[in-house]
A and B are shown apart, each in its own frame.
Chain A
């Protein structure tokens, strides 16, 4: 079974631009979570989607948004990019069945904002 895939793997943007990142979960997984990883702040939770609905959101400004499609694929968007948005963005998927909520991560998208 294929793992979580993320595209693109690398991105370079300039301040003020916007960016869209894509995540395809493991087949059959219905929950997708997004995280930001930076050297200073570590791994921080952005949001989680299940059945096209955002069910949880971390403490990030409204410039960070996301959505999930009917096939469980998810996208996240960052508008009006700032230098501090440079990070590795990771998505993770899980089955959301029973109490076993193990999340499986993709390779990440590395975003550099200049």
Chain B
């Protein structure tokens, strides 16, 4: 079945540092890939997405490129802020029917803490 693996956390950085959170996946076919962010006490917010190989998703300074050859979708940001402190989830979904309907498969989440 599908699976998503994220780098072990937590990740602690100083403000303005470079961020990378690794994400690799196992799936058949051509899934769509997502990064979601969860702030304390809240639900998930879509951060960015990519729907086909070599697509780059970007939002709020965050970027991730869909690499089919390495089955990866690593999240990067050039300069993190204290307000980026949150839990980040990598996820995939298939666009086909059957057992993929409406189902996101998530990684375990990576806690990011940014200090001033």
Contacts and interface: CB of A to CB of B under 8 A. Distances in A.
Interface of A: 4, 6, 31-33, 35, 42-43, 45, 47-50, 55-56, 58, 90, 92, 94, 99-108
Query: What DSSP secondary structure best describes chain B's contact surface?
Result: mixed
A45 B104 contact: yes
B102 to A, nearest CB: 3
Interface residues of B, number: 27
Nearest to B94: A101
A97 to B, nearest CB: 11
Contacts, number: 71
B62 interface: no
B108 interface: yes
Interface string B79-116: 00000000001010101011111111111110000000
